[in-house]
């Protein structure tokens, strides 16, 4: 299945998509995950997170699975996993290229 067609993921996009790999997540859980994973380097404001979630939903990378009161939970789709894998490969290639050039 083809992954994301709109170019590489930005850093916030990358970490938001990563947050869904293990389990479904809601808004605050995503924010906490990203902040913890990046040791506070990447922060997610609600405006940024909302736009990313809407964008990922439009592109079919994640899907809303439940709404309980104010809590909306999403999970990653196969297409989302594929996109993440492609991005990981791209980043790995970038790192390898960089290391090669350095050595």
43 binds another protein (CB under 8 A): yes
CB atoms within 10 A of CB 42: 15
The interface region with another protein, picked from 1-9, 46-54, 78-86, 87-95 by CB under 8 A, is 46-54
14 binds another protein (CB under 8 A): no
49 Cβ neighbours under 8 A, 6+ residues apart:
16, 27, 30, 31
Task: Round to whole Å and give the CA distance between 5 and 39.
Answer: 30
H or E segment and range at residue 74 = strand 71-76
CB closer to another protein, 46 vs 98: 46
40 binds another protein (CB under 8 A): no
Please give the residue ranges that form the binding site for another protein (CB under 8 A). 10, 12, 27-28, 31, 42-53, 70-72
């Amino acid at each position: 299945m083809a992954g994301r067609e709109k170019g590489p993921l930005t850093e916030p996009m990358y970490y938001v998509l990563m947050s869904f790999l293990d389990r479904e997540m809601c808004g605050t859980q995503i924010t906490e995950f990203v902040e913890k994973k990046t040791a506070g380097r990447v922060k997610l404001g609600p405006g940024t997170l909302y736009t990313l979630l809407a964008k990922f939903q439009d592109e079919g990378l994640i899907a809303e699975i439940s709404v309980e009161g104010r809590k909306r939970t999403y999970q990653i789709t196969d297409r989302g996993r594929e996109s993440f894998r492609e991005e990981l490969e791209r980043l790995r290639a970038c790192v390898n290229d960089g290391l090669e050039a350095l050595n």
